[in-house]
Structure formats: C-alpha cells, structure tokens
Amino acid sequence: MSDQKNGTPSRGEVLKRLREAHGTTVERSQAMMKEQKQMQNAICQFIRETPKTVPEIAAEIGRPTHEVLWFVAALRKYGIVVEAGMCGDYPLYQRAKEVQV
Amino acid sequence: MSLDNLHVDALVVGGGIAGMQSALDLGDQGFQVALVECEPSIGGKMITLSKVFPTLDCCSCITTPKMSAVAHHPNIKLFTYCDVQSVQEADGGYRVNLVQKPRYVDASKCTGCRECEYACPITVPSPFDRGLGAYRTIRVPFSTAVPQVAVLDMDYCILCGKCEKVCAAKAVDFNQQPEPFEIQASTLVVASGFELTPLGAKKEYGGGKLRNVIDPLMMERFLAPTGPYGRVLRPGDGKEPTSIAYVQCAGSRDTTLGIEYCSRVCCMYAIKQAMLISGALPLAEITIYYMDIRTFGKGYEQFYQNAQAMGVEFIRGKVASIREDDDQNPVVKVELTEEGRTIERTHDLVVLSLGMVPVPGSNTALNLPLGSDKFIAIPAPNASPCATAHPGIFVTGAAMGPMDIVDSIVTASSAAAAASAYIREHKKEAVYA
C-alpha cells in the first residue's frame, strides 16, 4: 500500500518491485548462499578442534585448494577463522572461538 | 535524495591520485570544483597499493589524507558512485549529464559502522583485492573508504532484509533509483586513470588459467597490511612461496598484443615488490626476468642497485612460456638472450609485470581524440602537456599515457594550473563581452 500522504511506496511494494525486477539474480544468489553456507560449515567443522592447512581442508571436504583458500580468507576477514601457526610452508587455520589466547 | 543541478568552475572526472590532486589545487585557488568518481569511494588504484617507489613510503599514508582533504574541502563537491553519461558544449563551457547510481543506502544517514556487512549472508569476491579476497553484498568498500558509506550490490542481493534490521541509523533504502543530474562547468579535467593489460592477454604465460601466475596489483594486495590473506601466500593453495619470479614486459612492448609502448612503471614496481618480499619472506629467492631495466627517474637507478645488493636475481632473457607442474608450481621457459640458450626453472609463484592500458569505455561520453596508443591525445605535448584537442578540457595522470605516481601528481598540478588559467581567461572574456 502506498503512503498516501507523500506518495512514497511502502516497503512491501518496493521489495515486490525489486523481486520482480531482479528475480533471476535473487534466485541465483539464493543458490549461491546455500552453497556458501555448506562450504563454510564444512570448513569450520573440520578446523573446530585442530588447526589445519588449506590443502588438508581441501582434501577433507573434496574441494579445490584455491576455492578453499578464498573461503578461509573470507572467514578470517570476518573473524570466524584465525591463523594458528605454520605447518611447513602452509599457515594453519582454526575456528576462532576454539583458539587458546 | 535530490541532486540539484550545479554550476562549477571545474569538473574533475576521476577520483584517483591525479584527480584528487587537480581538485585540491583548483579548490585551494578558490575555484568551485566538482569531483566525480564512478566507484563508491575515491582513492583509485593508489589506495590499493602497499608502498611507493623509490622511497618505500606507505601508500595509504599518502593517499588517505588527500582523500580526506577532498571530502572536507569547502570548495570541492564530491560525487561518488556516479557515471558520466554525456558531455556537451554549452554557454561557453560544458554541460555534463551524470547518473547517481543507487547505493540502496542513504548516505546522509549511514555511519559506516559495518553492522549491515556483518549481518549480510552473501560473500562475494572483492575487486579491491583483485577477486582474491571477499566482502559481503552490502559493505563499506574498504576500511579507509571515502565516504565511509555502505553500498549494496543488487546483483547479489537476495532481499532478505537482514541489513535493514541491524541498521540502527535506518539508512538502508531499497527505494533508491538511478538519479540523473547535470553539472555545468567552465572547464573539465579528465583523470580517468588506467587498467592493467588483461592477465590472460598472453596465452603462453597462462595468466588467468594458472592459479599461481598473478598480476602485480594482486601482489600489491598481498604486501599490504590489509591484504586478503594478511601475508604473502600463493592463491592456488595457500602456500608461503619460497621462490618468486617476475616476468618483465609481459603486457607492454609487444606487437602481438597491439601494445608497442613501454609502460614505464613495470621495472620499478617489480623491483619495489621484490624488495618488499625480501622483507616479508627473508628466505625467499626472487628472480626478475627482463629484456631491459628502465630506471629513469630520480633515485631509481640507486633503487635498482639496492635490490641487486639485497640479493634479488636479475636474469636477462625473454620468457617464452609458463606451464604448471603437478604441484601447481609454475615452470618458466626462458630464452637467455645473451647466452643464446633456453632454460626451464620452477618457481612457487610468478608475477606477470603487466603494462598500463586505457580504462575501457572511459572516453565514451567525452569522445576526445585518442593517440596511436589509445590514450587521450595531447596535440602539443611540449607547449601544453595537459591540453586535449578540445579547448577547456584538460587531461592528467595515466589517462594521458603510462606514468608513475610522481608524474601523475606533477601532471595533476599542471592540469590544474592550465585549467585555472583557462577559467580566469574565460571569466575575463565574460566581463568584457
């Protein structure tokens, strides 16, 4: 319903219009979000107890190393994952709340 | 939001280091200036860099105060996230039609707290980190962005409303639409910058396909404290590289790419990055494969000699091809031009020293004549080094051709001086008419 006083469309009308205009991208992004959540959960689950390197995580969850690195970098940026030392030439990553300070 | 049509003395197109310098110089002289930037923040390429050559000063420490000065200058009106649609001559000046792209965030309300960013469930590649890092669908573009205002990318938004719920300032506004507006200006300064030669332009180097063959701006992000990994890692598998190679002239001086000119900065940025890597990874071996080393600026030759003294290996030769071994290591095949033989060497990471090309589409609205290098033409480079073929339109920085930061700032002040003289002359004519 429009706001009759100033002609501004209601929030519902605005979102409906955007859903119609961006239907394809909304659908695609919803699928992407689902996939991202699965990936993030799999990574976080595997490194909850013990820190792991990117190749170790990739081998465990069956995804390419470059893809895992991108997700780990994103999780690190938002404080969900932290670095926890090195294993040879590879940094170790761990779920943030599990890290002993 | 309502955008009033403005009359200004000068309109600067592009908010990189050159555009900001021109705007500040003109603003300081008392002229009314509008600065238009297509991205959500000013800062251009320079704000993404780690350090500058040859002083190794922090880039952010130089750029951020200028960004802030532009935003707070009483004579500069800043327009970010705006596209120039058309430019017409009118009333002795120029009428510029622009479009304010929707941020879906009310800039007057947003405090830049990033609560919306933390609440957003979708992660997307960040162009600020050359796609190697990530940010959310709604985000403040980077930590020192000016303005500190969030922007929502509708191409990835699922309209879940989580950003709206957490925004204490009630700044999220899904009702925003593209908003056309007009600026009348006596003179224009074009500072539209450059792009790198595409990473995959030279197929035999594997750029874009081989994960551990990267471009120099990616390495800049790795070396910056705010980089995607917080350290130098190779993007293929997160390994800390112990052997890094630079391939010079990978996107310049190459007739097969249609880029015959020297990009003038590649030797120096490769040497600078090699020195910074030596600091970040003291045990790493760094090799630079080159045809000629061109260190022409003040203090540049000394910089090159310092890099040699630090142990950076310079090998004269032309890289023929790069392939990958089973461990994702790039294997470089080099023709040693002085010895007349070919060798193969394996590295952990290869950086292609790509050249500078004009930003695609940056001249569409302006329609200025271009030179043979496809940068904006300067008809009289010795007499008027920043004047284009159109009276009252000046060009600065890498929009006029490949140049480093020092030269960009010099030409920015030069363009501002030329624009200032033009405006004064223009006003004098108006008084006597």
Tell me if A55 and B236 make a contact (CB, 8 A cut-off).
no
Same-domain pairing of B186 and B77: yes
Q: What is the pLDDT of residues A67-91, one digit of tens each?
A: 999 999 999 999 999 999 999 999 9
Q: Which of B356, B377, B398 is the last residue of a domain?
A: B356
Non-local CB neighbours of B360 within 8 Å, separated by 6+ positions: B195
Partners of residue A29 in chain B, C-beta under 8 Å = 122, 137, 155-158
Instruction: Give me the residues paired with residue B185 across strands.
Output: B8, B94
Q: Determine contact, residues B287/B347, Cβ cutoff 8 Å.
A: yes
Same-domain pairing of B325 and B223: yes
Q: Work out how many domains chain A is built from and give that number.
A: 1
Provide the domain limits for residue B34.
1-100+178-193+359-433
Q: Which residues of B touch A (CB under 8 A)?
A: 118, 121-123, 125, 132-135, 137, 154-159, 161, 174-175, 211, 228-231, 233, 235-242, 328
Q: What is the pLDDT of residues B49-73, one digit of tens each?
A: 999 999 999 999 999 999 999 999 9
Which one-letter amino acid corresponds to residue B362?
S
Q: Determine contact, residues B198/B107, Cβ cutoff 8 Å.
A: no
Which one-letter amino acid corresponds to residue B175?
N
Predicted confidence band at A30 (pLDDT cuts at 50, 70, 90)? very high
Same-domain pairing of B264 and B316: yes
Judged by average pLDDT, the poorest of B3-17, B52-66, B171-185, B300-314 is: B3-17
What are the helix and strand counts (H, E) for chain A?
A: 4, 2
Residue A76 lies in a domain: yes
Averaged pLDDT for residues B255-267 = 95
Tell me if A18 and B236 make a contact (CB, 8 A cut-off).
no
Residue B337, domain CATH: 3.50.50.60
Edge-to-edge strand list for the sheet holding B313-316: B213-214, B349-352, B243-247, B285-290, B313-316
Same-domain pairing of B7 and B70: yes
What pLDDT is stored for residue A101 in this prediction?
A: 36
Averaged pLDDT for residues B401-416 = 97
Residue B168, domain CATH: 3.30.70.20
Tell me how far apart the alpha carbons of residues A94 and B389 are, in angstroms, rounded to a whole number.
Answer: 59
Averaged pLDDT for residues A51-78 = 98
Same-domain pairing of B117 and B218: no
Q: Does A53 touch chain B (CB under 8 A)?
A: yes
Tell me if A91 and B121 make a contact (CB, 8 A cut-off).
no
Q: Which of B300, B322, B356 is the last residue of a domain?
A: B356
ipTM of model:
0.94
Averaged pLDDT for residues B362-382 = 95
Residue A50 lies in a domain: yes
Q: Is the torsion defined by CA of B231, B237, B242, B248 positive or negative?
A: negative
Provide the domain limits for residue A35.
11-98
Same-domain pairing of B32 and B107: no
pLDDT cut 90: percent of chain B above it: 96
Q: Work out how many domains chain B is built from and give that number.
A: 3
Residue A1 lies in a domain: no
Say how far residue B310 (Cα) sits from the centre of its chain.
29
Same-domain pairing of B126 and B219: no
What pLDDT is stored for residue A99 in this prediction?
A: 46
Across chain B, what does the average pLDDT equal?
96
Residue A64, domain CATH: 1.10.10.10
Same-domain pairing of B327 and B377: no
Residue A6 lies in a domain: no
